[in-house]
Chains A and B, each alone.
Chain A
């Protein structure tokens, strides 16, 4: 019998995977065409057995559930109707526990080193005196806060909540793409996505030992409690949100409810004699810890941007006096600066005297003449990022760019080299996604959430973000990305 498929005669049975094309990227499910990796084998079988209409039905149940819970985000830069349901993919992403424990160790190492770095640059500045990190690089960062110099923060913890973006290289190695040390968001999608998946595919959870993540709110609360000012054994903790117009308002409300703490806005808080209070109907109530989801710039119009109406006048002085804890601390953004990122391996070695467990993506600094020259001549091969931007804005993806865009970026780089870095185009790994009735590979990344208080806590997995557009490498929700549930399983 001929192996060449001939139309009509040797019809291959169509499976949901019929159109699954492996590319140059690492694929999470398949090690080779139609050969699932061991930890994906059970899911692969399930998907083969699940009739198409079943999958569609469950997809619609899941979508309804997201809709009713109002799990939405706001897209900036468009007019009305900017509130959208967060796109969600049903096929879970699976990571084995040995893989995960290495990631976990690497993240803990990185977070401890970055925290040491922050403590150092806001105090003696040893790493700057030793010329391991250029002083110029730190002081020119727009997130560096002179006001924080010499201030001791509770337990020396600057970065309480971190979301680190990891990607998987074609070799299968996890590397760090970006650290988010200011106000990382997305954890509510991780939690609600798991809730919905359990409702839609209970049988998958019965048959697989997926590590739980549901304790994240309790862990966050315990972490925040551990940072309360001295002498406040039963601290009042609040979540400070910019308000309903913020794109992550759903998440703020969700986390506050899950932790059982008040969701406050700047106008609910007042400072008197360096003590922070919230206005309640029964009078002023002292506040000890703020989990703030308001950026540094806006948190105190007396200390930072005076035009801010989101903040609390005087809160910085209350903070400096040690009467209230802010989590994260002020000025942490200097350590997730995209140019400083290139120095993180050196930072880890400097403070911990260890080799980094998780590597960085190769990064070219546009402040270095040679590196800049090289990148500008090869812009079509690189991804150029503006240092101060996030959310996938202000980026040039070389291979997908037009000559005009490249010319534009060249001018921008030359005008302000400190504001740009370049990285080689990286093939993010792909994972199976349910697209229009079939299963197709799409590019993904991974954002685990790290909590740092008395100890470091990382719930297993994190938020897997998906570039739902075919071939796209941009996973940000503002740019057409979605999410999927992330399972850490014992093999």
Chain B
């Protein structure tokens, strides 16, 4: 497979994951504001921007509808859902021949829907319809991906894109949330914050799944364990890393043997850490440190993946 094609598939998938995640997060936040019955403070919105790992400068947070516009509709903002979908579609367009026509049509439809809904000004718009459309569209895309495309090399790059993005997004959100609602030294959830913790779980459609494992009793340690170490829940960090590992095993050996083995070592090490760590030990050593380490390793895997399969220096790869 051409390196460029692999790259396009990888980024298409990352951006779609990002669009869906941003949509769900915004949706949950808008719900929380309704439920808590009070206008949200600036802190909430700033945290939301942090949760998404956005480094660009957001517009002033006093005008909330403007911030929502910036995160959802604004085609000029690189952090918006509309931008993420556009980039995903642009990547898909360059590899139309490699993905199924159903997949192409779906991503193209999402793009056109998003563009149509984002036309016009930002005031007085109810974004929740739009967010639902994006979430449903993304689910549909993943269904088509599973059902209509060969599960070959290209498919593995799509899988890598999705789970590398997901591992990063989940760990970032966990980190920001725990720092805010469970400051150092505290182990139990404060009464008034209940809705916020449910919101955290709902940001990953994890509330029902959590209840099935731990009952509806919310404990910070269990929530962290569920979102970080659960083997079976698709939005946990461990689940994402397991999938990264499986996808890497299925890829052919890359341009440099040395690089390939480094890649397997990196992802194997991260997987082992998530498989064998104890939640109480992680909390004792500091959750934030652990999450920062997970993020660093994900970034490393991303870089080495590109060095091995996509941006390799030609000297190392001249065929014998």
Residues of B within 8 A of A265 (CB): 4
Q: Assess the B318–A280 pair: CB atoms within 8 A.
A: no
Residues of A within 8 A of B1 (CB): 280-282
Stretch at the interface among A267-275, A366-374, A424-432: A267-275
How far is the CB of A294 from the nearest CB of chain B, in Å?
16
How far is the CB of B187 from the nearest CB of chain A, in Å?
47
- Interface membership of B3, Cβ < 8 A: yes
**Interface set, chain A 263-314, CB cutoff 8 A to B:** 263-265, 267-268, 270, 272, 277-286
Q: Assess the A244–B93 pair: CB atoms within 8 A.
A: yes
Residues of B within 8 A of A253 (CB): 96-97
How far is the CB of A112 from the nearest CB of chain B, in Å?
35
Q: Assess the B2–A284 pair: CB atoms within 8 A.
A: no
Stretch at the interface among B33-41, B209-217, B247-255, B268-276: B247-255
Q: Assess the B4–A267 pair: CB atoms within 8 A.
A: yes
CB-defined interface of B276-320 with A at 8 Å, one 1/0 digit per residue?
Answer: 000000000000000000000000000000000110101001110
Q: Assess the B255–A284 pair: CB atoms within 8 A.
A: yes
Q: Assess the B318–A279 pair: CB atoms within 8 A.
A: no
Could you list 12 A-B pairs, sorted by A, with CB under 8 Å?
A263-B97, A270-B314, A279-B3, A280-B3, A281-B2, A281-B3, A281-B153, A281-B254, A282-B255, A283-B317, A284-B318, A284-B319
**Interface set, chain B 130-166, CB cutoff 8 A to A:** 153
Q: Assess the A280–B314 pair: CB atoms within 8 A.
A: no
CA distance A277 to B317 in the complex (A): 10
Q: Assess the A279–B97 pair: CB atoms within 8 A.
A: no
- If A262-B2, A267-B4, A268-B2 touch, whether A281 touches B251 (CB-CB below 8 Å) is yes
Task: Pick from B97, B253, B318: contact of A282, CB below 8 A.
Answer: B253
Residues on A lying within 8 angstroms of B by beta carbon are: 68, 70, 243-244, 253, 256-257, 262-265, 267-268, 270, 272, 277-286
Residues of B within 8 A of A282 (CB): 1, 252-255
How far is the CB of A72 from the nearest CB of chain B, in Å?
12
Residues of B within 8 A of A263 (CB): 97
How far is the CB of A336 from the nearest CB of chain B, in Å?
30
Q: Assess the A277–B314 pair: CB atoms within 8 A.
A: yes
How far is the CB of B153 from the nearest CB of chain A, in Å?
7
From B6, B251, B310, B314, residue with most partner A Cβ within 10 Å: B314
CA distance A264 to B255 in the complex (A): 18
Residues of A within 8 A of B251 (CB): 281
Q: Assess the A243–B314 pair: CB atoms within 8 A.
A: no
Instruction: Return the chain B residue nearest A250 by Cβ.
Output: B96
Instruction: Return the chain A residue nearest B94 by Cβ.
Output: A244
How far is the CB of B236 from the nearest CB of chain A, in Å?
28
Residues of A within 8 A of B318 (CB): 272, 277, 284
- If A268-B3, A270-B314, A286-B319 touch, whether A281 touches B97 (CB-CB below 8 Å) is no
Residues of B within 8 A of A70 (CB): 96
CA distance A283 to B308 in the complex (A): 9
Q: Assess the B314–A284 pair: CB atoms within 8 A.
A: yes
Residues of A within 8 A of B97 (CB): 253, 256-257, 263
How far is the CB of A85 from the nearest CB of chain B, in Å?
15
Instruction: Return the chain B residue nearest A253 by Cβ.
Output: B97
Q: Assess the B94–A243 pair: CB atoms within 8 A.
A: yes
How far is the CB of B71 from the nearest CB of chain A, in Å?
25
**Interface set, chain B 215-258, CB cutoff 8 A to A:** 251-256
Given A279-B312, A283-B254, A284-B318, 13 more pairs with CB closer than 8 A? A68-B101, A243-B94, A244-B93, A244-B94, A268-B2, A268-B3, A268-B4, A272-B314, A280-B1, A280-B3, A282-B253, A282-B254, A284-B255
Q: Assess the B2–A278 pair: CB atoms within 8 A.
A: yes
CA distance A421 to B3 in the complex (A): 47
Q: Assess the A281–B314 pair: CB atoms within 8 A.
A: no
How far is the CB of B305 from the nearest CB of chain A, in Å?
10
How far is the CB of B38 from the nearest CB of chain A, in Å?
44
From B3, B6, B153, B253, residue with most partner A Cβ within 10 Å: B3
How far is the CB of B67 from the nearest CB of chain A, in Å?
29
CA distance A286 to B309 in the complex (A): 16
CA distance A277 to B97 in the complex (A): 21
Task: Pick from A68, A256, A262, A283: contact of B255, CB below 8 A.
Answer: A283
Residues of B within 8 A of A280 (CB): 1-3
How far is the CB of A83 from the nearest CB of chain B, in Å?
11
Residues of A within 8 A of B93 (CB): 244
Q: Assess the B2–A283 pair: CB atoms within 8 A.
A: no
CA distance A243 to B2 in the complex (A): 14
CA distance A263 to B4 in the complex (A): 11
Residues of B within 8 A of A285 (CB): 319
How far is the CB of A81 from the nearest CB of chain B, in Å?
12
From A262, A263, A265, A282, residue with most partner B Cβ within 10 Å: A282
